[in-house]
Structure 1
Amino acid sequence: METCYPNPIAPTKTRIGWIGIGVMGGAMASRLLNAGYSVTIYARNPSKCLPLQSQGAHVANSPAQVAHSSDVVFTMLSHPPDVRSVVLENTDSVLSGLAPDRVTVDMTSSHPGLAREIFTAARARGCWSVDAPVSGGDHGARDGKLAIFAAGECAVVKWLQSLFEILGKVTYMGQAGCGQSCKIANQITVASNLVGLSEGLVFADKAGLDLKQFMGAIRGGAAGSKALDLFGERMIEKNWGGADVGYMVKDLGMGVDVVEKGEDDKVVVLPGASMNKQLFSSMVAIGNGMHGPQGLITVIETINGK
């Protein structure tokens, strides 16, 4: 990285691009703007740009235009096909506009194989790519407390450290694709925690317990978890806001269905994740697909006739 690296990142020197300004991406881009960075954004629906424009963001007409005016381009999109289109394949993609020695950082929960494809394509153009999906939900995005799973060239991830610190805590996971594999494993773990929390709350309610007292009692024991801290009160208060459950279904699907290619094909049997995917899919089936993942409790309540 002769041009960008090792020159230090600084608000007065480093131009940021951001594509994907939904619940998560919008909050993350806002934090970079508040930290004093020049941020150029793109959204297929221009009206979504207005809140960030009011904070000083510049608006581009295409992903390529974002890349052309940026040193680091972040993407926070919905699904792997969106990432492929925006970053890799279209004539106005990020990589088509990214100058040599610049960096694209995909924070979408996407496929490890696609992350490796993007890394290879970026290096062929003299650019760099990092896959850095996150965990922590909308509150973590808003408060800068996301867990960030970064992968790619170690020196590039280190160079990006000061930007990642505005968004949360970064852990370097290894070569390209390892960040996405970590996120899939994270979601498998989170889903199981949410199933257990939902069933525990439904059982406690049927037993006549005060649910907030119950949650306070178990928080300090083995049942305590970040999932409980993030989602427990929201379940009790029926606060369904957050990224819709379709993202959880997508992430679990990648874990259940993915075949990692190596010397031998490796298929991991995940019975719990398979069951949990069906439970989260049931949220969509009963009409609660736009709820955040804490809405899983509505499935358990429905099964129990509530």
Structure 2
Amino acid sequence: MATSTQRIGWIGMGRMGYAMAEWLLKSGYEVSIWNRTKAKAEPLTKLGGKVVDRLSDLADVDVLFSIVSAGKDVKEVYFGPNGVAPNGKGKMPKIVVDCSTISVDDSAEIREQLKGLGAEFVACPVSGNAKVIKAGKLSAVASGPEAAFRKVEDMVLKFAPNGVSYVGDGELARICKIAHNVMLGVVIQNLIEITLLANKMGVPREAFLRFMSNSVMGSMFTRYKSPALVNLDWTTTFTPELLLKDLDLGLELGREWKVPMPTTAATREILQGHIGNAILQKDPAAYLEKDFATLMETMANLSGMKLESENKNVPTGLE
């Protein structure tokens, strides 16, 4: 159990945020929570979480964490008319830790505005999904003032026990996370391509992915994604549109720093096509809320294949 008496504020109860805050509560921390849809946070009251009505109720905590979808959302919850510091004025906690995946420019702008309010900003995006968090295998990367990071490091390790890498000052952690998610997009695309190739030539998907995961090319990702690709289980971990956003962030950095990224560019266009094909579904909006691994259906169509679940009990590697 935590011995710290520091009070934590938490913004964001999405697939990631809920599970991360849950770890802090189970570790004995006092956590006050705000979420746009209050009902999503209320189950955590059973663990001692306090759900607040207004973002400004979090202004007096010692450390404020946030994890939301985009840079504009971070700005809104911090400095919006109903933010922690309404209209960018008033009080902010001394240390603010953001775990979202946002652009370098947005992060730098937020850092400067927080500095003007007397707050230190730690960028701390994470690697994994809700299943990874529950399995205790989440990891993180952090940048910002090192002294501020060291004050929150133990907290971060509660929800990211696989380790948190401090990479330096400023927005360096944002660059690491964008690069990470670019690789995520490229790897899932290639994994789908080779799985479909083997499958079309007669190899069961379960057998092929078991071989790949046990090989030198295997990883935590190939293992925990195998059940989805074998059984066509598109339970959402990350949406195609969020992945597209991150590929665009990576390509933007590549253009700015004159680093060619042709593989990323090709993956981005394939993903854009998948998103466009959603219009062929009965409920396009609902389809785009499914997991990004649904890209396999688009690639199967292009391959002249009709996919069916193999109905296999496939281990995730997270047990």
- Scaled by the length of structure 2, the TM-score of the pair is 0.84
| Residue in structure 2 matching 1:135, options 127, 130, 138 | 127
- Check whether the contact 1:64–1:96 (CA below 8 A) recurs between aligned residues: no
Q: Percent same amino acid at aligned positions?
A: 26
2:64 corresponding residue in structure 1: 73
1:149 corresponding residue in structure 2: 141
How far apart are the structure 1 equivalents of 2:234 and 2:245?
19
- Check whether the contact 2:229–2:293 (CA below 8 A) recurs between aligned residues: yes
Residue 122 in structure 1 maps to residue 114 in structure 2? yes
43-52 or 219-228, larger mean C-alpha shift: 219-228
2:303 corresponding residue in structure 1: 304
Counting only pairs closer than 5 Å after superposition, residues 143-292 of structure 1 correspond to structure 2 as: 143-168=135-160, 169-241=163-235, 242-258=237-253, 266-287=257-278, 288-292=287-291
| Residue in structure 2 matching 1:38, options 18, 26, 30 | 30
Q: 1:13 to 1:183 in 2, by over 3 A?
A: same
Which digits, 9 at most, give the CA deviation of each residue in 1:62-94, with x for residues without a partner? 2221232x1111111011110121124446335
How far apart are the structure 2 equivalents of 1:217 and 1:122?
49
Which digits, 9 at most, give the CA deviation of each residue in 1:108-142, with x for residues without a partner? 00011222222222222221111111111221222
Moved over 6 A (4+): none
Specify the SS of the correspondent of 2:165: strand
Aligned residue-pair number? 292
How far apart are the structure 2 equivalents of 1:177 and 1:256?
17
How far apart are the structure 1 equivalents of 2:247 and 2:52?
33
How far apart are the structure 2 equivalents of 1:96 and 1:32?
29
Counting only pairs closer than 5 Å after superposition, residues 13-24 of structure 1 correspond to structure 2 as: 13-24=5-16
- Check whether the contact 1:132–1:150 (CA below 8 A) recurs between aligned residues: yes
Q: 1:283 to 1:123 in 2, by over 3 A?
A: same
The one-letter amino acid paired with 1:175 is D
How far apart are the structure 1 equivalents of 2:274 and 2:40?
27
Unaligned runs of 5+ residues in structure 2 are: 279-286, 307-319
How far apart are the structure 2 equivalents of 1:91 and 1:148?
29
- Check whether the contact 2:141–2:164 (CA below 8 A) recurs between aligned residues: yes
Counting only pairs closer than 5 Å after superposition, residues 78-97 of structure 1 correspond to structure 2 as: 78-90=69-81, 92-94=83-85, 96=89
Q: 1:153 to 1:24 in 2, by over 3 A?
A: same
**RMSD over equivalenced CA pairs, Å:** 2.2
Specify the SS of the correspondent of 1:224: coil
- Check whether the contact 1:105–1:130 (CA below 8 A) recurs between aligned residues: yes
1:245 shift after superposition: 2.1
Which digits, 9 at most, give the CA deviation of each residue in 1:34-78, with x for residues without a partner? 11111111111222222223332111222221232x111111101
Unaligned runs of 5+ residues in structure 1 are: 1-8
- Scaled by the length of structure 1, the TM-score of the pair is 0.88
1:12 shift after superposition: 4.9
- Check whether the contact 2:84–2:92 (CA below 8 A) recurs between aligned residues: no
How far apart are the structure 2 equivalents of 1:98 and 1:145?
35
How far apart are the structure 1 equivalents of 2:139 and 2:115?
26
Q: 1:63 to 1:11 in 2, by over 3 A?
A: farther
1:207 shift after superposition: 1.2
The one-letter amino acid paired with 1:53 is T
1:5 corresponding residue in structure 2: none
How far apart are the structure 2 equivalents of 1:75 and 1:218?
36
Specify the SS of the correspondent of 1:144: coil
How far apart are the structure 1 equivalents of 2:44 and 2:97?
20
1:105 shift after superposition: 0.6
How far apart are the structure 2 equivalents of 1:267 and 1:66?
41
Q: 1:118 to 1:282 in 2, by over 3 A?
A: same
1:108 corresponding residue in structure 2: 100
